[in-house]
Structure 1
Amino acid sequence: MPVALITGASAGLGAEFARQLAAKRADLVLVARSADDLEQLATRLRAEYGVAAEVIVADLAVEADVARVAARISDAEDPIDLLINNAGFGLPLQFADNDIDDEVRHLRVHVEASMRLMHAGIRAMRGRGGRIINVASVAGFISRSTYSACKSWLIGFSRWANAEYIRDGVTVTAVCPGFTHTTFHERMGLAPGHEGIPTLMWLNADDVVREGLRDAARGRAVSIPSLRYKIIVALTRVLPASLTSGVARRGRV
């Protein structure tokens, strides 16, 4: 059976990736900070789908924890076929109002940890094949603080890596959802509906994951779930940055 390693697997899109992959009979390596939530998810998936579910408790803002996860990816005796870099979080305030240590931790999780795990994944997968999915955001196409910058980096690097390593049998896909019904906004301390975003703009996690997995299987470098967000991203290429960044201030994608 293929083996998928998922970071940020305890909730939200990470848990949905785990569920859909388990339904396809993939074995799992689940990574997150919350041991209890991970064990509960692993137990449920083992019972429901009969798959193996390994648990690694790790904080990807901590270098030693990132190294432990990278070592698991590099294990040639029990190889990883699909790496999903999903771990991440948002900050509730504008850049100048946030604590700089929080901003640095945010950068480490979104960019440095993803880069280190991609490095381990590509080195391990070259020649035998494999897939990497980086969960980015449509925010990566819009100018808005460090969250946008981090997601933009993921998108740009995924595009390059997909073109560079596809010849070695490794594909890299940036999945870029818009506003999605998960616990992401609540963990930032924002009440549901706080952003004032129209109902039409919200996506369901199962649809985002299903389309992301399909695009990754097709070897696409960028996946933008839903037609409405594809149109929005196309508009960002022609609209002035001052306009798109102003709209983005209404909420966090």
Structure 2
Amino acid sequence: MGIPDPLTCLLRNLYAGQEATVRTGQGTDWFQIGKGVRQGCILSPCLFNLYAEHIMRNAGLEEAQAGIKIAGRNINNLRYADDTTLMAVSEEELKSFLMKVKGENEKVGLKLNIQKTKIMSSGPITSWQIDGKTVAEFIFLGSKITADGDCSHEIKRHLFLGRKVMTNLDSILKSRDITLPTKGCLVKAMVFPVVIYGCESWTIKKPEHRGIDAFELWCWRRLLRVPWTVRRSDQSILKETSPGCSLKDWFIDVEAEIPILWPPDAKS
């Protein structure tokens, strides 16, 4: 993988002859550590990523002209630490990917747990012959991915979580010692990020847009202690809070970062 020999030697010496003990009262006897990375070491995430990259390269997935085409680039796997998602356009292609990854894992002492492997298809599965649970949805990095691509339930879930955070801030928002601009900054820093987390994978339709707008106005009304029963226009609420940018603008800012996935050699 192009790693210099001196660096490899340093890492080997760092891990050679490791011992540990469990702190239980007097402590256990010291024992040798033969597997894994050092917990809490800043090198550990990088080393694990290199390990995973080695497996994927040997499996041939990085060079394979297969998978789902996104922005002119073939994507057949998504990885974050030990969470790996394989993507293919057919059952046969997915089976091939899975068996290659399984074989390379076994070569380096890792085991692919088929029982924990979840399979999701946008169409009916006709000839799947590998054990694994077939699901209509699954959670990936905190976001719910569904077979039909419907994000309405996920968006509602995040709006609900945002309401919980906003409610928990009540004691702060009621304080007379905190200025209105500071309270607005708290809402933007603690509530809005909860709502937009994972929004890069969302398909937002008109009903969801209306729900997002309603949630934002609910936040500002709660901040100003203005109930819905009070006849006051939304424009006057926004004018008093002066949010600067709306919650939908946050979505646009996040979505604007997506083009960084465009391959370096692609033409704009």
Give TM-score, length-normalised by structure 2: 0.22
Query: Of Structure 1 and Structure 2, which has the larger fraction of its residues in helix?
Result: 1
- Larger RCO of the pair (alpha carbons < 8 Å, separation 6+): 1
Give TM-score, length-normalised by structure 1: 0.23
